[in-house]
Structure 1
Amino acid sequence: MAAAIRHYNFIAKNKKTAHGYEISFPNIPAAQAVGENYEEAAYYSYRVLADFLKHLPAGEAALTAYTLTTIPAATEPDVFYSQVSVTDDFDPHKMVTHFTLPQAPPAEIRAKARQLAALAERQTHHETA
């Protein structure tokens, strides 16, 4: 039987701006990436996160100090939070973003999903200008 791969989860704050996207990690000071579209910002955020994690002291305690504890409520209309799952080798190519929706009636879930999709839609600021 193959050994299970350990995953760590980190909170990402995603913000749609007039020029693209900013992704930061509230539990990790100064870890921020920007991109013209969401996919580009996510790619750079994985690189930033991997670089930060690879420079931590060895050991579980140093790593878990920065992992997911809670997901803040988004209070700004152009901000949403997600979870980034990271394998124990910190490979940015294996990182995956998970979007979360609160338990709610189906109509509310659909509305929240549409809102999230609109925030993360693939557009550059050139297309929206």
Structure 2
Amino acid sequence: MFILLMGPLVNLALWAVAGVLTPMVPAGDMRAIVEAFAYMNLFLAVMNLAPMMPLDGGRLFHLFLQTVLPDGLVYRTAGGVGLIISILWVPFLYLAMLRVGVLVLFLPSVALHWRMLQGRAAD
């Protein structure tokens, strides 16, 4: 589980370092780059924790479900949540591009989450 948290934790650490450095950088292009770097790492940390496969958040969600649900419901629940988020992902990406100017080219697998919802293995 610790390995799954490393990606988001590194992004959060880079966000924090860039946030501390931003006031120390003189105004101008370099400051804008440091601010963009900070926001991008925060965005990546949050995005990576989305509870859908194959992101770290999907694997963490699956591990959490294994502790609270019977084995037969784990894949179905993770698949259902992942399927809903996968379908909502495209409008979210479009809004993020319009609102923030961030273009993310990651499309989660609807077919994978559909198979999980049916109770078949994720891999």
Q: Scaled by the length of structure 1, what TM-score is found?
A: 0.31
1 or 2 for the larger relative contact order (CA 8 Å, sep ≥6)? 1
Report which of the two has the higher share of strand: 1
Structure with greater Cα Rg: 2
Q: Scaled by the length of structure 2, what TM-score is found?
A: 0.32
